[in-house]
Structure 1
Amino acid sequence: MENSYAAVASEKEDSQLLGILEEHVAYEPEAILAVIAEIEKRNLQAPNLEQIKQDTLQNLLQREQQLNPEPIGPASLTDKFKDFWGFFVPKRHYFVTPILVNTNIVIFVLLALAGMHVLSPEGEDLVNAGANFGPYTLTGEPWRLFTSMFLHIGIIHLLVNMYALVSIGGALEPLVGRKQFITAYILCGLAGSLASLWWDQQRISAGASGAIFGMFGMFMTMVLLEQRMTWAEKKGMVFNMLGVIALNLVFGLKGGIDNAAHTGGLLLGIAYGAVLMLRSGRYFTQHYNLRGSIVTVALLLGAFVGLYLQIPTENARYLTMLDRFGERETKAMDVMKEMELDATLISGGKYLQGLEQGIALWDESIKDLITLQELSDLGEQQAKEVEILLSYTQLRKTSYTMMRDDIQSNKPWMHQKQQRVLWAIGTYVQELQALRGGEEHESKETESEIPVDVEVDKMETLDPDAKPLFVIDGEPLEQMNLNDVEEIIHPDDVESISVLKGEEAVAKYGEKAQNGVVEIISKQK
């Protein structure tokens, strides 16, 4: 109804609008308010405009009170329940807020029924549900900037946010209307998600807090800029909102709370409120030009896209690949756990399919880790971690391949060579743990125990038909294969082994090393 009044008023000539205003007592209050809004938008001069507006609002209020009189005396339990239930039921001037509240609650209940913990959800569950998480949001899943606005980290988080949303929505939505309220809510939520992503890509961020902070900032700004009210009328509301905002931001400093999202939403809300006041001539109104609204939203969304594209993604790609590496490793190691539980079935070939799947998973991780090595902006520790993981993964694949071949040939699979490979894998695990813990690790000792053939297997990225260059105690041995080398030096006499690839190998030994180099130092040397 209110939209039809506004549409009719927008089609009237200036003289017609002024004529209707002179005979305002003959029209419905909603029609007169639409006419007044159109007159204000056109900056027309009308006698007693403000007085007519106040009288019309008073008439409208009296009519509402007559239609819905307040109960006399103490409210009954039933009345209290109805008042509480009213927070969740859309009404004429309180329509979008309860829909947002109900949406957040329904999503939380559905996730709880699906198994998510209601008090302290696991980070993995939140990410799977659509939380904002840099390694995923920045590598092809930008929709998380939006979906994270409707997820909450526990029921306490949900209840606090919904109480705040009802409080600010009940005050702001009737002043700006449904369209501007929902538009501002979504834009402030997106701004909060972007700010969180800029500040910390490794944080799992979820919740409506950024959007809600934005609505508080928007309301405070509009009250400050509104020209009809005096400062005496404004200061109580302004100081109250400033106190709420400051208290929550200070509370968020203790940790575990995404203050970046709060700040991002707040700043966007302040800016958006200022824009609305400038568009309306510094009056509260529900009527805004559609073209102006489209332009405003388009400009903000364009700015969001630009900010999103400017966020550095190297670290996010690194974290994403590590996360996928962990998932593949868990799946690949399932067959090993089964073999440990029931070794009697190994000779029957029960685990061959699991080993084949494991080999394929290790292959995928090897490709990802090689891609990571090519990233130019990796930090020193990250590069070292990738190097260790690559060696670890290559050895895992070697171990699985030997197990598969031995089981297919009905040979004992836990032989000396397999034991040495598993021991070498363990040393890489120790080296990785030491690196992440900031400790020194003796990699020399690790290299000395790894068999020559295992190091050669790690060079599988080279041409499989090409032979690497073997160098024993500094002397290159061209056109030699592994069996020839083992005739020259026994594995027990090896002190250390290192592998050179690509440009590094060619730079040290020339073109003959283009297929890689295996440097062997004997204990005697």
Structure 2
Amino acid sequence: MGVRPTPPYHVEERGMSPPQCLPPPPEPWFSWLVPLIFLANIAMFVLSMYINDCPAKMSPEKCLFYEYLGRFSFQPFKENPLLGPSAATLKGLGALERDLVVKKNETWRLLSCMWFHAGAIHLAANMMSLLFIGIRLEQEFGFLRIGILYLLSGFGGSLMSALTFTGQKLAISVGASGALFGLLGAMLSELITNWSLYTNKCVALVSLVLIICLNLAIGFLPHVDNSAHMGGFLFGFLLGFILLFRPQYGYVSRKYIPAGYEVKHKKPKYKCYQHLFWVVSLVLLLLGYIVGLIKLFKGEKIEQKHIGIFIHV
């Protein structure tokens, strides 16, 4: 998103050494966490299909692709059009169901549900988004910040999903979409808080907003838990201001630095608005988690008429 600015003059042409206050851009991080998350999601889907064992629970002829997949064949299309296991299997493994969290104190489902998917189509869509968005962010900000962002955004999405009243009893929700929307939200706040570091600012902003709007629009399709999407996006947006802010000095491209020249790093400078965003976002984030959990365990709900039509997987 955008290009880091290079010096306004050519060092070799002016016969000058590069300014000491402008260090070279940081080396990109090696991305290993996002591929690991990708493999973990694949493994959890394979596990869910193994435990589901469709042919053992109904006539094998009714299971999709039984001839090729055997025990790993999918539930009938009418039951699960996303090509995956039954709702009962997902529920047993850790899908999010409001009553189990509130009445049986199975709070762990707020985190476990993000590692399971309703079907192969659901999994493929989420994993392509994860690789496309996550690897770039991890290369730029490192595994620790992106790992925290992914988990806390996913938790926030699950919390919003559990608070949302759909009118459907025993509705369950699974998938990494809340965490992925958290990454999108963080990309937007990162662009805002690091605005001065970007060239082509308007192009970067418009492109990102279009991507976000397209993904949010998909959330209004049937069987999609858009409340988890919205929750993940909002929590990720706040987390981006906290985790992804950068010191506000420019960088000199390495090709402009003479061989053997030792760059003296200037103390990082942060803008006042970055500190303001950080404090406000931290306060709102903590309030969101605390108030959300209190409302959830009090049995309170957010009804559809207040936030739109949200349908769970």
Q: So what's the TM-score if we normalise by structure 1?
A: 0.39
Tell me the residue number matched to 1:165.
Answer: 130
> If you compute each CA radius of gyration, which structure gives the higher value, 1 or 2?
1
Cα distance, 1:146–1:297 mapped onto 2, change above 3 Å: farther
Tell me the residue number matched to 2:91.
Answer: 127
Distance (whole Å) between structure 2 residues aligned to residue 283 and residue 205 of structure 1: 44
Tell me the residue number matched to 1:73.
Answer: none
Which SS does the other structure have where 1:254 is aligned? coil
Tell me the residue number matched to 1:276.
Answer: 243
Q: Say whether 1:205 aligns with 2:173.
A: yes
Distance (whole Å) between structure 1 residues aligned to residue 282 and residue 111 of structure 2: 15
Q: Say whether 1:112 aligns with 2:79.
A: no
> What displacement does 1:259 show?
0.6
Q: Deviations over 1:358-408 (max 9, x none)?
A: xxxxxxxxxxxxxxxxxxxxxxxxxxxxxxxxxxxxxxxxxxxxxxxxxxx
> What displacement does 1:314 show?
5.3
Tell me the residue number matched to 1:244.
Answer: 211
> What displacement does 1:229 show?
2.9
Q: How many percent of aligned residue pairs carry the same amino acid?
A: 30
| Unmatched tracts of structure 2, length 5 or more | 1-17, 54-73, 76-82, 251-267, 269-277, 302-313
Q: Say whether 1:307 aligns with 2:275.
A: no
Cα distance, 1:310–1:113 mapped onto 2, change above 3 Å: same
Q: Deviations over 1:400-442 (max 9, x none)?
A: xxxxxxxxxxxxxxxxxxxxxxxxxxxxxxxxxxxxxxxxxxx
Q: Say whether 1:267 aligns with 2:234.
A: yes
> What displacement does 1:275 show?
2.1
Which SS does the other structure have where 2:118 is aligned? coil
**Equivalent in 35, 40, 48 of residue 20 of structure 2:** 48
Cα distance, 1:302–1:99 mapped onto 2, change above 3 Å: farther
RMSD: 3.1
Cα distance, 1:152–1:301 mapped onto 2, change above 3 Å: farther
Q: Deviations over 1:132-173 (max 9, x none)?
A: 100101121011000001010001100110000001112111
Q: Is the 8 A contact 2:48 2:89 kept in 1?
A: no
**Equivalent in 234, 250, 254 of residue 221 of structure 2:** 254
Which SS does the other structure have where 2:219 is aligned? helix
Which SS does the other structure have where 1:220 is aligned? helix
**Equivalent in 158, 166, 174 of residue 139 of structure 2:** 174
Amino acid at match of 1:206: V
Distance (whole Å) between structure 1 residues aligned to residue 208 and residue 47 of structure 2: 33
Q: Deviations over 1:97-121 (max 9, x none)?
A: 0010010000110111112647143
RCO comparison, higher one (Cα < 8 Å, 6+)? 2
Tell me the residue number matched to 2:120.
Answer: 155
Amino acid at match of 1:113: Y
Which SS does the other structure have where 1:255 is aligned? coil
> What displacement does 1:220 show?
2.1
Cα distance, 1:303–1:270 mapped onto 2, change above 3 Å: closer
> What displacement does 1:49 show?
2.0
Distance (whole Å) between structure 1 residues aligned to residue 85 and residue 164 of structure 2: 23
Which SS does the other structure have where 1:49 is aligned? coil
Q: Is the 8 A contact 2:150 2:183 kept in 1?
A: yes
Q: 1:184-195 residue pairs with structure 2 within 5 A?
A: 184-195=149-160
Q: Is the 8 A contact 2:154 2:178 kept in 1?
A: yes
Distance (whole Å) between structure 2 residues aligned to residue 298 and residue 130 of structure 1: 30
Aligned length: 225
Distance (whole Å) between structure 2 residues aligned to residue 302 and residue 166 of structure 1: 31
Q: Deviations over 1:264-287 (max 9, x none)?
A: 010111111122355x44579xx9
Q: 1:382-401 residue pairs with structure 2 within 5 A?
A: none
Q: Is the 8 A contact 1:227 1:282 kept in 2?
A: no
Tell me the residue number matched to 2:109.
Answer: 144
Tell me the residue number matched to 1:18.
Answer: none
Amino acid at match of 1:125: T
Amino acid at match of 2:24: K
Tell me the residue number matched to 1:103.
Answer: 40
Q: Is the 8 A contact 1:217 1:269 kept in 2?
A: yes
Q: 1:442-521 residue pairs with structure 2 within 5 A?
A: none
Distance (whole Å) between structure 1 residues aligned to residue 173 and residue 118 of structure 2: 9
Amino acid at match of 1:108: F
Q: Is the 8 A contact 1:184 1:215 kept in 2?
A: yes
Q: Which has the higher helix share?
A: 1
Q: Deviations over 1:310-366 (max 9, x none)?
A: 1265589xxxxxxxxxxxxxxxxxxxxxxxxxxxxxxxxxxxxxxxxxxxxxxxxxx
> What displacement does 1:231 show?
4.8
Which SS does the other structure have where 2:52 is aligned? coil
Cα distance, 1:264–1:282 mapped onto 2, change above 3 Å: farther
Q: Say whether 1:219 aligns with 2:187.
A: yes
Which SS does the other structure have where 1:210 is aligned? helix
> What displacement does 1:240 show?
2.3
